[in-house]
Every structure is written in structure tokens, then in C-alpha cells.
Structure 1
Amino acid sequence: MRMDDYELLIRLNEIGTIRGTAKAVLISQPAVTQRLKYMEEYFGEAIFIRTSKRLLPTPAGEIVIQHAKQVIHQEKVLKNRLAETGEEIQGTLAIACSTLISQRFLPSILGEFTAKYPKVAIDLVTGISEDIRRNHKKYHICIIRGEKLKESTSVHLFDDPLYMFDTEPFPSNHAKERPLISFKSDDSMHELVDNWLYHHQEFIKPEKTLTVDQIETCKQFMKQGIGMAVLPESVSDHLKEEYPHIALKINGKAVTRDTWVCYQEGIRKLPQVDHFLELLQNTTF
């Protein structure tokens, strides 16, 4: 069994369909089916039951899948140990990163890092910070928004002030009543906005709230005049010259989203982790 066979097996279990897995790993459906057939012949057991909705692991399949996870984990442990002893920086760097940071800042940072350390394999997962917090022990480094991870070493990267944008002006003599467009984020972001709205309910009264999946969709809806949108400065600075906006403040203090890099104690012994953290902390955001 090859390592990529074990990885494919885990993806099949996670995604649940051959079609979805083929799309995720960028190979054809017949190729996925053929490799699954090979693995079942190799172990002499059916690994999945095919239902109309998804693949369900058999009892034997659950044992094989657990074995696959252990093999992959041990492979990573071995590569990291070799990376510690070798002169050349190599091994795997597992990063979980907030979607906003991964879109706005991470490409250039990873581009610089991989150019300098081409033998380091990057294992990157992106998503909302709330999900990353729940699974933070799976990764070497977590880059999250909002509250820091209390059980980890957390280094503050930057503050990100929030602004409310609209295509219509913000009046000073009466309340503004418009739909509010929000994007999928963790609870801490929504709490910041709700708290600010509570303190400014005499001036801002959302008629209704529209929720979209991505921050870019939120921006485009605002640009089309559908409603107001609260956006972090890091992704909206270029909008200030074109659209009416106000800074979110409470008692004169800016409402901001903190960004943190978090990691477990001792993880900097891995050279690839230490060098990436050094690059990250020297980056101007």
C-alpha cells in the first residue's frame, strides 16, 4: 500500500462519495474506483458499503481507515524527526488558517517561504476561526481571528478595525434604516457587530439581515446597493474613497478584530515551524 492510497481512503471516508472525492483530489472517478477496488483486494475485505447517498464503512473498513490514519500520522512524525536532525530544512508544516487571512495575506507569505525552503511540504487547511479552535491540536500552527487560544502560545499579529459601508450616505440627523448584509464568520465577529449596533440603535436600524457565505460576496452585494455591510479594514481599505462608510467605535474606542498565530509549546523545535513563525512575525500586515 502506498501512502497516497491511505490518504485517498481517508478522503473517501470524509467526503462520502466517489464523485466528490475524485473532484477533491483532482483525479477521474474511474481511477478512484479502481484504486478502491485494489485496496479492498489487498486487505481481502469490503471497506465501504455503497448506498444511494454515500459510502458507509464496513466494520472491517473502520479498522482499515483507523490504520490508515495511524500510518499517515507516523509518517509525519518520522519526517518531522528527520527534519530536526538534518541540516536542510524539510518535513511537513501543518497550518490551519482563517479564511480571510488565507485569501488576503497567506499567498505571499507562503510564496516567500516555499521559495526559500522548497523541501518543506505545506499541509494547509482554511476555514472560520471557530472550527480551527476545535481542532487546533491537529496542526503545527493556527492563524485565527478574535480570541486567542488560551491553552497555546499565542502571538498577536495585528488589529483589524471594522467599518460599515453602504452606497447611500450615513445621515447625521435621523436614523439610517437599511438591510444589513453579513458574511459567514465565527460567533465573536457577530457579537462585535451586534454589540456595536446595540450602542448605536438610535442611528443605525437594520431593516433585516441577509447572510451570505463569503466576505467577497458580501462586498459585491453592498456595491450593488442591496444594503449595508460591516467589513474589516484589511479587505476594505480600497473601498473608502468610493463608498460612504463609518468606523465602528464604542465610547471613542475602535472596534477591532485581533489576529493571532497560535502553537503548542515545544513545536518550535521543528526547524520548518520555527522558520515559518519567524517569517510570519516579521511580516507587516
Structure 2
Amino acid sequence: MFPKVELNVDTGFSTEMMDLLVDGQIDVAIVRGDYNWSDGKYLLSEENVCIIANEPIDVKKLPQMPMINRKEPKVLLKYKTSPYNPFEQSVEYWWNQRFIEPPIVTMQVDSYETCKEMVKKGLGYAIIPSVFLKQTDDLYNAPLIFKNGQEMKRRTWMYYREESMSLATVAEFVRYMKNS
């Protein structure tokens, strides 16, 4: 639509993108997680968070079962911005609503795909966003539901600087993303 406009796209961890946005190095950031951002924002999508296992499980027995946990890479510790409600804190809150004892974490892995593969091998259960599941995975899954009946969600946001909306390219990109 705009052949003379050049778009510069950077990718990285959501925390890295938020740091760039906060520092004014970029005008728009698309991130996963709920960050403390008081300027322009638009919810792009949300997905359920679920328990996966290679066979049906009784949620009440989770404290006695091995858990495969996805841990944030250590590289994220260098960033200034942290999510307001990170995935791990939500899972911990859900867990603490139900159980007194901590989970039995037998593996810490760095990706949801690795979690899924370990679960397929019968090495335990995992808690992952549903976007990582495919029907061909043939895994038992159940959404995490808080005590108030609300399902746990992981959100993808577009955050932007309202002052940058005076730039036609930024305004058009934001409009396009909102209408996609």
C-alpha cells in the first residue's frame, strides 16, 4: 500500500522490546504478557493456559506428580522492564489457590516445545499456553481455571507511544494492526 515507506522491524524477547519502547528507541512494541504501560495499547490476542499430560490426570494429585517447568532464559535478567503480571506469577497464584505444598519440579527447560516433548515421553506434566498445542500432539490438556471461575489467559499486546501517532507511518501501522 505504501511502496516508499521503509519499515524497520526488530525482534526479541518481550522484555527487550519493552525496554526499547520505554527508552524511546522504538515507537511500537508487540509483546506477550501484561506490562505496566500507561500510554497507547491494544489487545491483539489472548490464549488459554493449560495443563498438559500424556494421559488424563486428576488435578488434585498434581502435588505428587513430576512437573516439567519452562523457565525464563537467564538473559532476561539484564532487562530493566519486567511484566506486571508475568506468566510464572499467574501460575504460582493458581497453584497457591489449590495447594499447600509446592510442585515437584523434576525438569527445568528453556522452551515450551521442549516441555511438550518431555510430556509426550511420559516424564511428567507441564503448564503451557495453548498456542503451543497442535491436535497432532495427542496430549491431554485442560485449561487452568482460577477459584473465581475465570480461565487463566496469556495476552499479546501492541503498546505504542501516543505522541508517535503524529507520524503517518506509525499511525497507519497501528490502524492496520487494530483492523487485522
**Which bin holds the TM-score, normalised by the shorter protein?**
0.7 to 0.9
Q: How large is the Cα RMSD of the aligned pairs?
A: 2.7
Matched, 1:178 2:66: yes
> What amino acid sits opposite 1:143 in the alignment?
I
Aligned-pair distance for 1:139? 0.8
Question: In structure 2, what is the equivalent of residue 195 of structure 1?
Answer: 93
> What amino acid sits opposite 1:130 in the alignment?
T
**SS in structure 2 at match of 1:253:** coil
Q: 2:33 aligns with which of 126, 142, 146?
A: 146
Question: In structure 2, what is the equivalent of residue 249 of structure 1?
Answer: 145
Aligned-pair distance for 1:255? 0.9
Alignment of 1:79-158 (within 5 A): 116-136=1-21, 137-158=24-45
Return 134-143 or 164-173, whichever deviates more.
164-173
> What amino acid sits opposite 1:181 in the alignment?
N
Aligned-pair distance for 1:278? 1.7
Query: Which structure exhibits the higher relative contact order, with contacts defined as CA atoms closer than 8 Å and separated by 6 or more residues?
Result: 2
Q: Is the Cα contact below 8 Å between 1:184 and 1:215 reproduced in 2? A: no
Question: In structure 2, what is the equivalent of residue 163 of structure 1?
Answer: 50
Q: Is the Cα contact below 8 Å between 2:37 and 2:159 reproduced in 1? A: no
Q: Is the Cα contact below 8 Å between 1:180 and 1:229 reproduced in 2? A: yes
Aligned-pair distance for 1:142? 0.7
Q: 1:215 to 1:117 in 2, by over 3 A?
A: farther
Deviations 1:204-241 (A, max 9, x none): 963225332233233223223232222212232x2498
Q: Output the CA distance in 2 between the equivalents of 1:214 and 1:241.
A: 16
With normalisation by structure 1, the TM-score equals 0.51
Q: Output the CA distance in 1 between the equivalents of 2:39 and 2:56.
A: 44
Q: Is the Cα contact below 8 Å between 2:50 and 2:141 reproduced in 1? A: yes
With normalisation by structure 2, the TM-score equals 0.76
Q: Output the CA distance in 2 between the equivalents of 1:261 and 1:181.
A: 27
Aligned-pair distance for 1:174? 4.2
Aligned-pair distance for 1:258? 2.2
Q: 1:120 to 1:224 in 2, by over 3 A?
A: farther
Between Structure 1 and Structure 2, how many residues are aligned? 166
Gaps of 5+ in 2: 74-81
Q: Is the Cα contact below 8 Å between 2:68 and 2:118 reproduced in 1? A: no
Q: Is the Cα contact below 8 Å between 2:53 and 2:141 reproduced in 1? A: yes
Q: Is the Cα contact below 8 Å between 1:132 and 1:144 reproduced in 2? A: yes
Deviations 1:97-116 (A, max 9, x none): xxxxxxxxxxxxxxxxxxx4
Q: 1:240 to 1:181 in 2, by over 3 A?
A: farther
Gaps of 5+ in 1: 1-115
Q: Is the Cα contact below 8 Å between 1:129 and 1:145 reproduced in 2? A: yes
Q: 1:118 to 1:178 in 2, by over 3 A?
A: farther
> What amino acid sits opposite 1:267 in the alignment?
S
Question: In structure 2, what is the equivalent of residue 216 of structure 1?
Answer: 113
> What amino acid sits opposite 1:243 in the alignment?
L
